[in-house]
Chains A and B, each alone.
Chain A
Amino acid sequence: MNAQNRPAGINATPLLENATWCVPDYDALLWERYDEIYHLFNPGSGQTHIINDPAYEALKELSKQPDNMTGLLVRLELDQEPEKVTKHFRRLLWELDQLGLIVPVTS
Chain B
Amino acid sequence: MVRFENIGLRYGVGSEILRDLNFQIRPSSFQFLTGPSGAGKTSLLRLLFLALKPTRGLMTLFGHDVSRLDKDALASLRRRIGLVFQDFRLIDHLTTYENVALPLRVIGRREEEYRSEVIELLRWVGLGDRIWALPPVLSGGEKQRAAIARAVIGRPELLLADEPTGNVDPTLAQRLLRLFVELNRSGTSIVIATHDIALMDQFDARRLVLHEGRLHAYD
A, B assembled together: no
Binding site for A on B (CB under 8 A): none
